Amino acid sequence: MPTLRDCILLHGPDLNPIHCKTFAWQDDHVTEIAVGDPAPTLPAPSLVVIPGLYNGHTHVGDGALPDGAAGLTLEEGFFRPHGYKYRELGKLTPAELREHMTNTLQFMARTGTVAHLDFREQGAEGAQLLREASNNTGIDSIILNQFNESPFDEATLDAGTASLPASALAELEAMLAIADGFSESTMNDLTPRAWREIRERTAATGQLRAIHCLENPAYRDISMRRNGRGDLARALDTTDYDADLIVHLTLANAAEIKLMAESGRTAALNPRANATLGLPLPPVTALLDAGARLLLGTDNVMLTPPNLFAELDFTHRLARSQATEARPSVPPPVDILRMVTSNIRPLLGGDHYGYLDVGLPASFVVLDFTAPHLRHTRNLLASIVGRVGTADILATYHRGRELWRSAELSF
């Protein structure tokens, strides 16, 4: 059976670094972890094994348009029906779209990612193309599908009483037959009754519900004007949409941070994408202090390359700058690393763990800490979060399947 010897491994849901004489796997699961002493630093140059990474928010469908939205606002670049993204994706054939998505997933595997939650546009057909790209590459695409076209016009949304029309109900059925759940751009894109209909439909089959909240001021302002409540409050209300996953929270105030944490639901932050669009950065440290369960995402591929090591680096530095000089150990790097590993478990369950132990899926990444710029680290977790480049990633495995392996690594 395949085996790595004398490595350092991040063990269990707390990602404890340990010496590991033998790490072995067979078929799709881990068969042996010989747990040795704690390894906060490296006594000798070593390979380091970490769990395979989960990207909590992507749009890989626009991988065909890298940097296409440079210089555009959120609305100009990304909103239906006339935003740059929708105009340009409409010009590509299904085969071209699938090829671009496959290329994007291969880049994600090359940079340590084994699964992602994708907010897939273009309705059921868009979901089907991503499903095919996922099967081709071995990366798990957890697809949260959105309507191809908005079911309501502005006047109907302002009136706020309409149910989903029959055509939208039919599209919802078609999407949920392929996808793992539902997503939309904002809570302002559907009526309150439509959100309740979608909650009831997805709850019946145990499928996921996700939504972008508080990305820019309009999200909260329009929601307040129409409903007397902000978009986050409506998204989390168990009698409205009852979302499992909230994305962004860039503008979350103290009350909204508390609401998010007390909901027990999961939030995915995307600080590099927010920065690229000239938006405020999410309150990472305040959310962590409040006890919110957080993921990290890279958002649209046209905005940011989906490399989670880059997102970890940016996020940890951002969180440190929000923690102030008086709290020099806050937040510890392991809290940031959990955002792409073990924090996924409560949201997805099943065979998604985000951590390594005997009997669990063999989903892991091998890092080259024999390299001169890494081997002398005095803080292994800080170096994983802040110093690993693409060339340092020697292999990515998901459920025992090799998604990427460098010719330099043999076992």
Q: Which residue ranges make up the site for Zn ion (CB under 5 A)?
A: 119
Residue 268 CB, shortest distance to Zn ion, in Å, is: 9
Residue 297 CB, shortest distance to Zn ion, in Å, is: 8
Residue 210 CB, shortest distance to Zn ion, in Å, is: 9
Q: Which is nearer to Zn ion, 144 or 365 (CB)?
A: 144
Token couple for 359 = 């009997």
Place of tokens 């004398």: 6
Q: Which is nearer to Zn ion, 38 or 278 (CB)?
A: 278
Do 12 and 29 form a contact (C-beta atoms < 8 A)?
no
Q: What's the full length of the chain, in residues?
A: 411
Q: Which is nearer to Zn ion, 11 or 100 (CB)?
A: 100
Residue 16 CB, shortest distance to Zn ion, in Å, is: 33
How many whole angstroms separate alpha carbon 253 and alpha carbon 298? 22
Q: Who's near 230: CB < 8 A, 6+ residues apart?
A: 214, 220, 223, 224, 256
Q: Which is nearer to Zn ion, 202 or 298 (CB)?
A: 298
How many whole angstroms separate alpha carbon 196 and alpha carbon 215? 22
Q: Which is nearer to Zn ion, 247 or 384 (CB)?
A: 247
Q: Which is nearer to Zn ion, 51 or 83 (CB)?
A: 83
Residue 300 CB, shortest distance to Zn ion, in Å, is: 7
Q: Which is nearer to Zn ion, 119 or 219 (CB)?
A: 119
Q: Which is nearer to Zn ion, 150 or 396 (CB)?
A: 150
Residue 253 CB, shortest distance to Zn ion, in Å, is: 21
Residue 11 CB, shortest distance to Zn ion, in Å, is: 33
Residue 312 CB, shortest distance to Zn ion, in Å, is: 19
Residue 335 CB, shortest distance to Zn ion, in Å, is: 23
Residue 270 CB, shortest distance to Zn ion, in Å, is: 8
Which residue's beta carbon is nearest to the bound Zn ion? Answer: 119
Q: Which is nearer to Zn ion, 18 or 60 (CB)?
A: 60
Q: Which is nearer to Zn ion, 46 or 55 (CB)?
A: 55
How many whole angstroms separate alpha carbon 204 and alpha carbon 8? 44
* Beta strands 46-51; 3-11: pairing state: parallel
Q: Which is nearer to Zn ion, 119 or 355 (CB)?
A: 119
Residue 98 CB, shortest distance to Zn ion, in Å, is: 20
Q: How far is CA 57 from CA 17, 115, 158, in A?
A: 27, 10, 29
Q: Please write down the HEC assignment for all residues of the chain.
A: CCEEEEEEEEECCCCEEEEEEEEEEECCEEEEEEEEEECCCCCCCEEEEEECEEEEEEEHHHHHCCCCCCCCCHHHHHCCCCCHHHHHHCCCCHHHHHHHHHHHHHHHHHCCEEEEEEEECCHHHHHHHHHHHHHHHCCEEEEEECCCCCCCCHHHHHHCCCCCCHHHHHHHHHHHHHCCEEEECCHHHCCHHHHHHHHHHHHHHCCEEEEEECCCHHHHHHHHHHHCCCHHHHHHCCCCCCCCEEEECCCCCHHHHHHHHHHCCEEEECHHHHHHCCCCCCCHHHHHHHCCEEEECCEECCCCCCCHHHHHHHHHHHHHHHHCCCCCCCCCHHHHHHHHCHHHHHHHCCCCCCCCCCCCECCEEEEEECCCCCCCCCCHHHHHHHCCCHHHEEEEEECCEEEEECCCCCC
